[in-house]
Amino acid sequence: MSDKTDKTEQLRLSVFKTYKLYVGGKFPRSESGRVYEVTDAKGKWLANAPLSSRKDARDAVVAARKAFGGWSGATAYNRGQVLYRVAEMLEGRKGQFVHEVADAEGLSKSKAAAVVEATIDRWVWYAGWTDKIAQVTGGGNPVAGPFFNLSSPEPTGVVAVLAPQESSFLGLVSVIAPVIATGNTAVVVASERSPLPALSLGEVLATSDVPGGVVNVLSGRTAEIAAPLAAHQDVNAIDLAGADEVLAKDLEIAAADNLKRVLRPQPVDDWSATPGIDRMTAFLETKTVWHPTGSLGASGSSY
C-alpha cells in the first residue's frame, strides 16, 4: 500500500494557476484572448498573464464609474473598515504573496516576507487615514464679512493608476490604497514585467468587503493599456508612477484633453519609506460652502 501511494504521489501533476483580470468584481479573461509569458528574475517561466486590450480598459472604466457613487457616498469610517478587512485577508494569504514577490523581484524568502509584511502594514496605515484626512485638508476659513466659510475635501472620481514597474507589491499597494481610501475608484495597470501579485490582489479584494468595481486590475503592455485610459473622457485623474519619462510625457499630453489631474512620476520613489498624505490629497477636490451669519443666518439660507 505504501509503495503504491508513493508512486501515485510521484506521478501527480501540479495544478497551475490561471491568472485573470479583475474588472467589476469579476474575473474575465482578456477580451482579446491574448496572454503573455511572465518569468521570474532569472528568466524562468512562471505563468501566462492576460494581455489586456483597449476594450478591457474601457470596460474597467465603466465598472469604476458605476461603483463611484456608492463608494464615494460611504462614510469615511466605513471605508476604513473595508481597507482594514483587506489587510486581514492579506495576512491570511501571506505565504502566497511571499512566494509571488520572491519570484517577481528576485528576493530571498526572508526579504520577500519583509516586503509583504510592510505591504500589509501600508494597508492598515491608509485605513487609519480615511476618517482623518478631512480634518487635515478641510476646515473653517477666515473671511471679512457676515459669513462663515467652510472647506471640505471630495474625491476626484475615476483614477487610472500605473503601478510601479519594479516594486510589484509594496509599490502597487502604495498607489492603490490612497486612491480608494479617499473615496475614488481605480483602474490599475499592473507592472508589465511582474503582474502576478497585482492579479492575486484582485482575488483578495473580491473576497473582502471592497465593492465590485472600486478597484479594477489589468495586466499587459503598460503603454498599450495606458494610452486609451489617459485619453478617456470618463477618467478624471491619472497616476503615472509606473511610466517611464517618454511614456509619461505622452500620457500627460493625452490627459490634457479633458483637464485630468495628473500625478507625475518621481525621479526616485522609496516605497519602503513612511508615506505622507500627498498621494491622498493629489486626488481630492475642495468644496467650499459660504453661509451668512447674524440676522441673515437665522433664516437658514446658504449659498
**In CATH, 50-299 is 3.40.50.300:** no
Q: What is the pLDDT of residue 288?
A: 78
DSSP sequence for the chain = -HHHHHHHHHHPPP-------BBTTB-PPPTT--EEEEE-TTS-EEEEEE---HHHHHHHHHHHHHHHHHHHHS-HHHHHHHHHHHHHHHHHTHHHHHHHHHHHHT--HHHHHHHHHHHHHHHHHHHHHTTTHHHHH-EEE--SSSEEEEEEEEE--EEEEE--SS-TTHHHHHHHHHHHHTT-EEEEE--SS--HHHHHHHHHHHTTTPPTTSEEEE-S-HHHHHHHHHH-TT--EEE-TT--HHHHHHHHHHHGGGT-EEEPPPS---TTSPP-SHHHHTTEEEEEEEEE-TTTGGGT---
Q: Is the pLDDT of residue 224 over 50?
A: yes
**Mean pLDDT over each residue of the chain, to the nearest integer:** 90
Distances (CA, A) of 100 to 17, 107, 112, 199: 12, 10, 9, 11
Q: What is the pLDDT of residue 293?
A: 77
Element (H, E) at 2: helix 2-11
Q: How does pLDDT run across 230-275, given as a tens digit for each residue?
A: 999 999 999 999 999 999 999 999 999 888 999 998 876 789 898 8
Phi, psi torsion values for 100, nearest 5 degrees: -70, -40
Delimit the domains of the chain by residue range: 50-299
In this prediction, residues 11-36 reach a mean pLDDT of: 89
Q: Is the pLDDT of residue 131 over 90?
A: yes
CA distance 223 to 98: 28
Which pLDDT band holds residue 41 (cuts at 50, 70, 90)? confident
Q: What is the pLDDT of residue 4?
A: 57
Q: What is the pLDDT of residue 240?
A: 96
* Percentage of the residues of the chain whose pLDDT score is greater than 70: 92
Q: What is the pLDDT of residue 146?
A: 78
pTM: 0.88
In this prediction, residues 128-146 reach a mean pLDDT of: 83
Q: Is the pLDDT of residue 98 over 80?
A: yes
Q: Is the pLDDT of residue 303 over 50?
A: no
In this prediction, residues 113-124 reach a mean pLDDT of: 97
Q: For residues 3 and 99, which has the higher predicted lDDT (pLDDT)? A: 99
Q: How does pLDDT run across 178-196, given as a tens digit for each residue?
A: 999 999 999 999 999 999 9
CA distance 234 to 240: 17
Q: What is the pLDDT of residue 294?
A: 66
Which pLDDT band holds residue 302 (cuts at 50, 70, 90)? very low
Q: How does pLDDT run across 42-87, given as a tens digit for each residue?
A: 899 999 999 999 999 999 999 999 999 999 999 999 999 999 999 9
Which pLDDT band holds residue 1 (cuts at 50, 70, 90)? low
Q: Is the pLDDT of residue 135 over 80?
A: yes
Of 141-150, 213-222, 285-294, where does the model show the most confidence?
213-222
In this prediction, residues 274-300 reach a mean pLDDT of: 78
